[in-house]
């Protein structure tokens, strides 16, 4: 059943409720939070440059770590300083600063970004080797509470200037704020801000306060062509323009993440795309190809995860814990896909989800988890620490390692920690925020765009559009999309479409109606037409669809068109 979430009657009321901020705060984010120890970090970097010390940046293999590393690399290049960037090999080395990486660094300044908070032993060894160490990280500290003995530790979750200060930065956001203290040229900072915006969206950190400013400024840089040349090339190959948060979430972020998920040293490919100036067309094509392979493997392994849920009778669990090993005839879910599959499961089942796969150690499993709603999965794992070998991350996403013998006990413990009522898992109702009349949609979208970007901390309002009439476009009122025709596109007029991913079967079961009720969120569909013109049209991403039963008189012309289309079978089409 579709239900209105509360008694909010205006878009502004919904935005204030979703964000927890006033309209003025959203429209004019300050973006000047003082970050503890950041000035000291900048002074150490300046000193290292002045003394011509070797500088090594150690990042991570996800989009945040890649963008953060690219920001620092480009910054030092702007400042005329050569640096070495080292990204961990996902499968053979694992997350963060390792002893293997440390063995490669003999002197100078070690600067970690998007990792380092849990590398207590490694940083202690770095100090014994005489290295100067700066840590830029936003992840939670270790379960034992120990912090690395770095020369400067920048992590707003560990220490803030004031308790009320914003602390939701991602790793690349911290790297960018460091760059702002080192690069006085505002024009050159735009190149770096473009990458900070992408990472902030991709890493699903709150789009409030400083992060809103980072994203707004970064999008302006991207859309004015002032981002890195490699990023511009990638966007050209993807036919993307007027970039917004939807483009980053659904296209740019997944492509930058794909090599690091699929290949041991794949993150380097994305890093080079963002920082190089040569062979960019070839590099862009390679990233896009890898992402297509990732999508195919992801679909296969999501089905495997669904089969495990069925085989292990996990339906109804308040926390899903999937162990994908020892399945007859099925290889384990690849480690690089565990996190994204956990995310899909958490969205579908509306519970926190963890996906475990085989580790390098025979008696251990390792994997990733994703949160649901306001549940802090790091706090959840802290309670479960006796069952774990290691864990780390932040409230929305985490990595973990567990002994095989402890999996069932861990599953039972996690379910006890998240009570049934909090998740409303038996509630099949679909909630929307506002009802929008079809004729009011253009004006509604104009107002909606005022409060963008939307995402974590500022959720996109869910709307109900009733009695939406479909109109023929090139002889078709709707089209089926996807390899198996599993998606549906509805033509709602000259400048609006509605897209339902995975909803084709439901639409067919309802008799392919030409007048529908829709629940979903608005976005902008952007593409180039056959003669190369950039086209923008309103698009509703459908969450659910129902046949409209309301009787409305159509114009004689429209009735005649529909009758003719029905006679020649022109309602539908495939693309």
Structure tokens at 133: 């160490």
pLDDT for res 574: 42
Question: Which residue shows structure tokens 């963890």?
Answer: 354
How many Å is the maximal CA-CA distance in the chain?
85
pLDDT for res 564: 54
Q: How many Å apart are CA 483 and CA 493, to the nearest integer?
A: 26
pLDDT for res 551: 60
Give pLDDT < 70 ranges for the chain.
Answer: 421-428, 551-575
CB of 38 closer than 8 Å to CB of 179? no
pLDDT for res 88: 97
Length in residues, the chain: 575
pLDDT in tens, 303-355: 999 999 998 889 889 999 999 887 887 889 999 999 999 999 999 999 999 99
pLDDT for res 423: 41
pLDDT for res 81: 96
CA angle 348/351/354 to nearest 5° reads: 95
Return the exposure string of 337-366: e unless at least 16 CB atoms fall within 10 Å of the residue's CB, then b.
bbbbbbbbbbeebebbbbbbbbbeeeebbb
Q: How many Å apart are CA 383 and CA 380, to the nearest integer?
A: 5
Structure tokens at 379: 């706090």
List the alpha helices (DSSP H) in 463-575: 504-509, 556-568
pLDDT for res 425: 42
Q: How many Å apart are CA 560 and CA 71, to the nearest integer?
A: 59
121: part of which helix (H) or strand (E)? helix 120-128
pLDDT for res 143: 80
For 46, the 3-state DSSP assignment is: helix
Q: How many Å apart are CA 341 and CA 427, to the nearest integer?
A: 23
pLDDT for res 424: 46
pLDDT for res 434: 96
């Amino acid at each position: 059943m579709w239900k209105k979430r509360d008694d909010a009657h205006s878009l502004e009321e919904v935005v204030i409720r979703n964000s927890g901020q006033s309209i003025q705060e959203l429209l004019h984010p300050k973006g000047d939070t003082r970050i503890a120890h950041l000035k000291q970090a900048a002074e150490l970097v300046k000193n290292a440059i002045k003394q011509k010390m070797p500088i090594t940046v150690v990042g991570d293999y996800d989009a945040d770590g890649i963008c953060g590393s690219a920001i620092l690399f480009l910054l030092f290049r702007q400042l005329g300083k050569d640096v070495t960037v080292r990204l961990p090999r996902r499968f053979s080395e694992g997350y963060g600063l390792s002893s293997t990486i440390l063995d490669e660094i003999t002197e100078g300044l070690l600067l970690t970004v998007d990792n380092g908070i849990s590398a207590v032993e490694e940083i202690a060894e770095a100090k014994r080797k005489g290295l100067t160490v700066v840590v830029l990280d936003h992840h939670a500290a270790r379960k034992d509470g120990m912090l690395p003995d770095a020369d400067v530790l920048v992590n707003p979750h560990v220490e803030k200037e004031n308790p009320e200060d914003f602390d939701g930065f991602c790793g690349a956001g911290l790297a960018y704020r460091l760059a702002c203290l080192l690069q006085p040229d505002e024009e050159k900072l735009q190149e770096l801000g473009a990458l900070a915006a992408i990472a902030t969206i991709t890493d699903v950190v709150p789009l409030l306060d400083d992060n809103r400013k980072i994203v707004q400024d970064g999008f302006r840089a991207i859309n004015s062509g002032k981002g890195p040349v490699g990023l511009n090339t990638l966007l050209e190959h993807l036919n993307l323009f007027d970039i917004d948060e939807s483009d980053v979430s659904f296209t740019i972020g997944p492509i930058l993440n794909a090599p690091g998920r699929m290949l041991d040293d794949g993150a380097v490919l994305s890093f080079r795309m963002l920082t190089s100036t040569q062979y960019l067309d070839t590099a862009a094509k390679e990233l896009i190809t890898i992402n297509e392979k990732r999508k195919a493997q992801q679909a296969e392994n999501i089905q495997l995860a669904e089969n495990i849920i069925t085989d292990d009778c996990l339906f109804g669990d308040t926390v899903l814990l999937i162990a994908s090993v020892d399945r007859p005839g099925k290889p384990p879910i690849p480690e690089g896909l565990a996190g994204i599959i956990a995310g899909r499961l958490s969205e579908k089942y509306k519970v926190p989800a963890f996906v475990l796969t085989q580790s390098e150690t025979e008696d251990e499993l390792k994997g990733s988890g994703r949160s649901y709603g306001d549940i802090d999965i790091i706090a959840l794992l802290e309670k479960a620490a006796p069952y774990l070998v290691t864990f780390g991350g932040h409230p929305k996403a985490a990595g973990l390692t567990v002994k095989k013998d402890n999996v069932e006990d861990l599953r039972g413990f996690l379910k006890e920690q998240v009570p049934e009522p909090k998740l409303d898992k038996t509630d099949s109702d679909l909630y929307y925020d506002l009802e929008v009349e079809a004729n009011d949609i253009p004006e509604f979208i104009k107002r909606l765009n005022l409060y963008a970007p939307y995402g974590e901390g500022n959720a996109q309002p869910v709307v109900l559009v009733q009695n939406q009439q479909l109109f023929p476009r090139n002889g078709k009122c709707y089209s089926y999309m996807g390899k198996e025709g599993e998606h549906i596109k509805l033509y709602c007029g000259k400048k609006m479409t509605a897209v339902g991913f995975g909803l084709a079967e439901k639409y067919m079961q309802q008799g392919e109606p030409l007048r529908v009720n829709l629940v979903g969120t608005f976005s902008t569909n952007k593409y180039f037409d056959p003669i190369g013109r950039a086209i923008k049209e309103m698009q509703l991403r459908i969450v659910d669809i129902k046949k409209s039963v309301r009787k409305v008189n159509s114009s004689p012309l429209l009735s005649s068109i529909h009758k003719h289309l029905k006679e020649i079978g022109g309602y539908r089409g495939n693309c």
